[in-house]
Amino acid sequence: MTVLTLSELAKITSSKLQGNADLIITGISSLDAAIAGEISFATGRKYLSQLNKCNASAMILSADLAASYHGNNVLINKSPYLAYAQAIAVLHPKQAIQASTHPSSIIADSASIADSASIGANVVIGEQVHIADAVIIEAGSVINNNCSIGKNTHLHANVTLYANSQIGENTCLHSGVVIGADGFGYAPHQQEWYKIKQVGNVIIGNDVEVGANTTIDCAALGSTIIEDGVKLDNLIQIGHNVHIGEHSAIAACAAIAGSVTIGKRCQIGGASAIAGHLSIADDVIITGMSMVISSIKVAGIYSSGMPISENRQWRKNIIRFTQLDKMSQKIRQLEKLIKS
Amino acid sequence: MTVLTLSELAKITSSKLQGNADLIITGISSLDAAIAGEISFATGRKYLSQLNKCNASAMILSADLAASYHGNNVLINKSPYLAYAQAIAVLHPKQAIQASTHPSSIIADSASIADSASIGANVVIGEQVHIADAVIIEAGSVINNNCSIGKNTHLHANVTLYANSQIGENTCLHSGVVIGADGFGYAPHQQEWYKIKQVGNVIIGNDVEVGANTTIDCAALGSTIIEDGVKLDNLIQIGHNVHIGEHSAIAACAAIAGSVTIGKRCQIGGASAIAGHLSIADDVIITGMSMVISSIKVAGIYSSGMPISENRQWRKNIIRFTQLDKMSQKIRQLEKLIKS
Amino acid sequence: MTVLTLSELAKITSSKLQGNADLIITGISSLDAAIAGEISFATGRKYLSQLNKCNASAMILSADLAASYHGNNVLINKSPYLAYAQAIAVLHPKQAIQASTHPSSIIADSASIADSASIGANVVIGEQVHIADAVIIEAGSVINNNCSIGKNTHLHANVTLYANSQIGENTCLHSGVVIGADGFGYAPHQQEWYKIKQVGNVIIGNDVEVGANTTIDCAALGSTIIEDGVKLDNLIQIGHNVHIGEHSAIAACAAIAGSVTIGKRCQIGGASAIAGHLSIADDVIITGMSMVISSIKVAGIYSSGMPISENRQWRKNIIRFTQLDKMSQKIRQLEKLIKS
């Protein structure tokens, strides 16, 4: 934990300072947990009552909310959420990791590992792997042959990279991530499945984050591509030959089938599924648990799914759903009857 | 395998004994697999024909079902399923695990490990970790700095705990579980995502079970909390700052987004998804594959989702679904026409 | 990479050769990536324009498509996709793995490992495990007591087998797979959950593929069974006592609840969910994201789910959905009114 003055934080977060510029800020916490000395933040009027009960010594607020705040020390910012992100980054700086290679790690002779990298316990690194400066690879991770990992990238414990995976710079793979497993490709043959050998790889760009236990399959031919700045949550499936454009974000448990192309700056809600070979335009937002079975050509917000209702009501309505086509025909009949 | 008499099993399961009290029970099996010497059980009349063909030497049954059973030796119990659970617990007792620390394990000097704990091959344990009595940690698991694990807790192989995770007593984490990975938090900034450093942790209570490859993210600030007695199945996502009340159970592949609060004794069906920041009351049951996008304030059973139909029929009905609003308007027009 | 003549490839793929039989084929690539010397393929008329711009020296095509192809060298085949699968299998042959046991692996004395097996770094193998000929077990995998693995089977890095798992021949388990974790079984008891000890195991047949981070739970009693030729994609949950018939295939993120029986040659779409204790007939196809809550007795194609629409339209329609039962009643009233 770093300690800063309120004026230093104002500078870092590009905020307008109101109150005591020399106030020492000892930490950052949520409205319900903050203690004296700390700064907190609120992002909307629904937090107003909590805001004025909070024990924090300073707040990050919009001008609007600041007007209703009874405290004295405020950083006024158009985007308090971003300012909080900027503040916490300096108040909780990355711990310096010492360059080291744990004696239990097993590294092929032909691998090249930067002196500044940190290789954890029981890490296994294959032939011709290239590990750049300041890379951190935590315990139990396995890097197969011919992989490359760009500088400052962080692999948490128990990550697996299949052979030929290329990972960019400043990227983070969380525990349990599997990069480059075989895509799900079979040709039907005499009522059995003939495996299509998956000979491609995975290429992940810079500033990407991949959540715990997410899987990104290698391409059948060519590369599965995750562009710069993409953020993937936990337990997501990315099929073979998928291409995700830069700065798109996908929430947990989404299933992206093979050969899907997702544009730049898209947001895909959790537990959504996109069928194979579809194409999603730039700047598309898909809400959670949506089912995408045709391509989306125009930016916008798209949704599907049926929110819950009380179980008895749901039972009645789903029966009606299965009769929808008949209902529609019935309406047309009635219409004709009335007109005649 | 332990061997018991029928009367001992009657006592253990609080059942009424009918038949030979001294019968030796050598095991417990399902109706189709049980052999002479074993006990089996049935939980409803639909198993009646199987019941009377079963080779088991004794049965756990409700009084109702016992009346239709042709065999002589019965444990009569209001809840045969619970009695089966109690019986199998004694017939298949936990194997005693010898306290030991595998020589291949890598343990930081500052970690404190109870003498009665069992630390498996290639386990990695970080600084200031506290491992209580009779804890079992299986091969390949990685426990990062400052974690604590309560007595009798069992981590299966290849589990990962991020730093500062707190795990209670008598808790079980299955293989591939990841506790404490970063929550999915970013502030939008100039068409990119500004990472919000996740500085909280995960706190898991006593008597919790977490299924294989389930992920529980650390809090952004504060703690993600799983209370005592919670049961989580496999491949579940628990987002940052989620709070799950005691004795709630969640089936496989559910996605619980960030900052969701789930009450006590809830049951969430498999493949369900709950959107961020919602609150679910105590004693709520949500059936499988439900989509929850608003808070639930009253105990009860809630459902959504559309069960399958034959593909051709489904295609017709989903077209009608997209016309539902128009259909509704049309009905109102017809109504007016008729009334006029 | 192997190099072959076009006539050799024709033989291997049972294709009719058109053009230069002695043409040397140096590789296989997709239409957009192929270079001179390589062969490519197309599976439908929608690829026609790409086909005639492709730099490959030869093509695998149907007779129909071959007639529109401007190039000279073609392998004509009724099923170009299967022919591609057969061609790539010989052009990219499996790399010969040297039999070896990495010195860092930890193998119980009572385990029996074939001399021709390859045991990777940090692999942990328990008591009484049997590993057959030519098995490959990659780094970090953990094989618990009493497991058996049939010949030519391949476990990628960081796989976990719980005790008593039986894996057949020519089977492939991808990284992060967990076989044999406890099924999700509890009896309700005094508003808590009484754990039902899971004492069964998992039996996986020959020629099975299990995708990354997929979990297959052990049976409560007896065995969870995956028959020969079954293909499972990534992040799938297979509950306890599930039985999947031979040559069925399940796409990513599907959730198969406990005691489900799936017939032979079924195809289950990604992100689908099948509720517990149901039975699915042979040759059933279930499209992606379907919700199955009753058994399917007849072969055919089944679907559910609501494809996305523009968010505003969806909001209107889901309100109407919750009024469906009332709408239906209203239509009947109007009908009566008109008739009277």
Final residue of a structural domain among B91, B125, B156: B91
The answer to whether the Cβ–Cβ distance between A317 and C334 falls below 8 Å is no
Q: How many CB pairs under 8 A join B and C?
A: 212
- C48 and C84 inside one domain: yes
Q: Give B213's pLDDT tier (boundaries 50, 70, 90).
A: very high
Q: How far is A29 from chain B (nearest CA, A)?
A: 6
The answer to whether the Cβ–Cβ distance between A237 and C247 falls below 8 Å is no
The predicted pLDDT at position A322 comes to 82
Chain B residue with CA closest to C198: the answer is B88
> Encoding tokens for residue C329?
């009643």
The answer to whether the Cβ–Cβ distance between A311 and B321 falls below 8 Å is no
- B82 and B109 inside one domain: no
Cross-strand partners of B238: B216, B256
Mean pLDDT, range C281-288, rounded to an integer: 98
Residue at A312: amino acid letter = R
Chain A residue with CA closest to B295: the answer is A308
Q: What gap in Å lies between CA B321 and CA A291, rounded to an integer?
A: 14
- B31 and B163 inside one domain: no
The answer to whether the Cβ–Cβ distance between A324 and B317 falls below 8 Å is yes
pLDDT over threshold 80, residue B340: no
The answer to the question of residue C321 being in a domain is no
The answer to the question of residue B313 being in a domain is no
Strands C160-161 and C192-195, sheet pairing: unpaired
Task: Annotate chain C with three-state secondary structure.
Answer: CCCEEHHHHHHHCCCEEECCCCCEECEECCCCCCCCCEEEECCCHHHHHHHHHCCCCEEEECHHHHCCCCCCCEEECCCHHHHHHHHHHHHCCCCCCCCEECCCCEECCCCEECCCCEECCCCEECCCCEECCCCEECCCCEECCCCEECCCCEECCCCEECCCCEECCCCEECCCCEECCCCCCEEEECCEEEECCCCCEEEECCCCEECCCCEECCCCCCEEEECCCCEECCCCEECCCCEECCCCEECCCCEECCCCEECCCCEECCCCEECCCCEECCCEEECCCCEECCCECCCEEEECCCECEEHHHHHHHHHHHHCHHHHHHHHHHHHHHHHC
- A143 and A199 inside one domain: yes
Q: What gap in Å lies between CA C38 and CA C24, rounded to an integer?
A: 8
Cross-strand partners of C215: C178, C237
Of the candidate ranges A325-329, B252-256, C128-132, C303-307, the one whose mean pLDDT is the lowest = A325-329
- C12 and C76 inside one domain: yes
Q: What gap in Å lies between CA C159 and CA C204, rounded to an integer?
A: 15
Residues in A 130-159 with any Cβ partner in B closer than 8 A: 138-140, 156-158
The predicted pLDDT at position C109 comes to 97
Question: Does A41 reach chain C within 8 Å, measured CB to CB?
Answer: no
Residue-wise pLDDT tens digits, B104-138: 999 999 999 999 999 999 999 999 999 999 999 99
- A163 and A280 inside one domain: yes
Q: What gap in Å lies between CA C58 and CA C15, rounded to an integer?
A: 13
The answer to whether the Cβ–Cβ distance between C213 and A217 falls below 8 Å is no
Q: How far is C308 from chain A (nearest CA, A)?
A: 4
Q: How far is C158 from chain A (nearest CA, A)?
A: 7
Given its phi and psi angles, is residue A172 left (phi above 0), alpha (psi -120 to 50 degrees) or beta?
beta
Residue-wise pLDDT tens digits, A248-299: 999 999 999 999 999 999 999 999 999 999 999 999 999 999 999 999 999 9
Contacts of C335 in chain A (CB under 8 A): 330, 334
Chain B residue with CA closest to A82: the answer is B187
The predicted pLDDT at position C336 comes to 84
Residue-wise pLDDT tens digits, C216-260: 999 999 999 999 999 999 999 999 999 999 999 999 999 999 999
pLDDT over threshold 80, residue B102: yes
The answer to whether the Cβ–Cβ distance between A317 and C324 falls below 8 Å is yes
Residue-wise pLDDT tens digits, A18-66: 999 999 999 999 999 999 999 999 999 999 999 999 999 999 999 999 9
Q: Give A335's pLDDT tier (boundaries 50, 70, 90).
A: confident
A129 SS3 class: coil
Chain A residue with CA closest to C326: the answer is A317
Q: Which of A191, A215, A253 sits opposite C247 (nearest CB)?
A: A191
The answer to whether the Cβ–Cβ distance between A265 and B142 falls below 8 Å is no
Contacts of B280 in chain A (CB under 8 A): none
Contacts of A138 in chain B (CB under 8 A): 142
- B45 and B152 inside one domain: no
Question: Does C245 reach chain A within 8 Å, measured CB to CB?
Answer: no
> Encoding tokens for residue C305?
């789910």
The predicted pLDDT at position A113 comes to 98
The answer to the question of residue B169 being in a domain is yes
The answer to whether the CB of B122 falls within 8 A of the CB of A140 is yes
Q: Give A224's pLDDT tier (boundaries 50, 70, 90).
A: very high
Burial of C162 (0-12, 13-18, 19+ CB in 10 A): buried
Tell me which residue of C144, B290, B161 sits closest to A311, measured CA to CA. Answer: B290
The predicted pLDDT at position A321 comes to 83
Contacts of C162 in chain B (CB under 8 A): 156, 175
The predicted pLDDT at position A3 comes to 87
Q: Which residues contact C197 (CB under 8 A, 6 or more apart)?
A: B85, B88, B89, B92
| CATH number of the domain where residue C75 is located | 3.40.1390.10
Mean pLDDT, range C6-33, rounded to an integer: 97
- B107 and B48 inside one domain: no
Contacts of C326 in chain B (CB under 8 A): none
Q: Give B100's pLDDT tier (boundaries 50, 70, 90).
A: very high
The predicted pLDDT at position C323 comes to 84
Q: What gap in Å lies between CA C258 and CA C242, rounded to an integer?
A: 6
Q: Which of A30, A120, A247 sits opposite B192 (nearest CB)?
A: A247
The answer to the question of residue B339 being in a domain is no
The predicted pLDDT at position A70 comes to 95
Quote the percentage of chain A above a pLDDT of 70: 100
Q: Which ipTM did the prediction report?
A: 0.96
- B136 and B218 inside one domain: yes
Q: What is the mean pLDDT of chain A?
A: 96
The residue segments making up the domain with residue B292 are 100-302
The answer to the question of residue C338 being in a domain is no
- B165 and B199 inside one domain: yes
Mean pLDDT, range A128-136, rounded to an integer: 98
pLDDT over threshold 90, residue C296: yes
The answer to whether the Cβ–Cβ distance between B30 and C222 falls below 8 Å is yes
The answer to the question of residue C56 being in a domain is yes
Final residue of a structural domain among C91, C118, C142: C91
Q: Mutate which of B30, B104, B233, B337 to disrupt the C interface (most C C-beta within 10 Å)? A: B233
Contacts of A311 in chain B (CB under 8 A): 287, 300-303
Q: What gap in Å lies between CA A101 and CA A121, rounded to an integer?
A: 8
pLDDT over threshold 90, residue A151: yes
pLDDT over threshold 80, residue A87: yes
The answer to the question of residue B149 being in a domain is yes
The answer to whether the Cβ–Cβ distance between A237 and C249 falls below 8 Å is no
- A109 and A228 inside one domain: yes
Q: Give A98's pLDDT tier (boundaries 50, 70, 90).
A: confident
Count CB-CB contacts under 10 A for residue B161.
Answer: 31
Number of domains making up chain A: 3
The predicted pLDDT at position B338 comes to 80
The predicted pLDDT at position A326 comes to 85
The answer to the question of residue B330 being in a domain is no
Q: Give C177's pLDDT tier (boundaries 50, 70, 90).
A: very high
The catalytic residue among A154, A156, A240, A243 is A240
Contacts of C141 in chain A (CB under 8 A): none
| CATH number of the domain where residue C222 is located | 2.160.10.10
Q: What gap in Å lies between CA A38 and CA B144, rounded to an integer?
A: 27
The predicted pLDDT at position C157 comes to 98
The answer to whether the Cβ–Cβ distance between A321 and B323 falls below 8 Å is no
Residue at C267: amino acid letter = Q
Give residue for tokens 């030991």. Answer: B100
| pTM greater than 0.95 (yes/no) | yes
Q: What gap in Å lies between CA C56 and CA C33, rounded to an integer?
A: 9
Residue-wise pLDDT tens digits, B284-313: 999 999 999 999 999 999 999 999 999 999
Q: Which residues contact B330 (CB under 8 A, 6 or more apart)?
A: A331, A335
Residue-wise pLDDT tens digits, C70-118: 999 999 999 999 999 999 999 999 888 889 999 999 999 999 999 999 9
Q: Which of C28, C85, C311 sits opposite A301 (nearest CB)?
A: C311
Q: Give B18's pLDDT tier (boundaries 50, 70, 90).
A: very high
Of the candidate ranges A139-143, A335-339, B50-54, the one whose mean pLDDT is the lowest = A335-339
The answer to whether the CB of C263 falls within 8 A of the CB of C245 is yes
Mean pLDDT, range C270-281, rounded to an integer: 98
The predicted pLDDT at position A302 comes to 98
- C86 and C104 inside one domain: no
Question: Does B64 reach chain C within 8 Å, measured CB to CB?
Answer: no
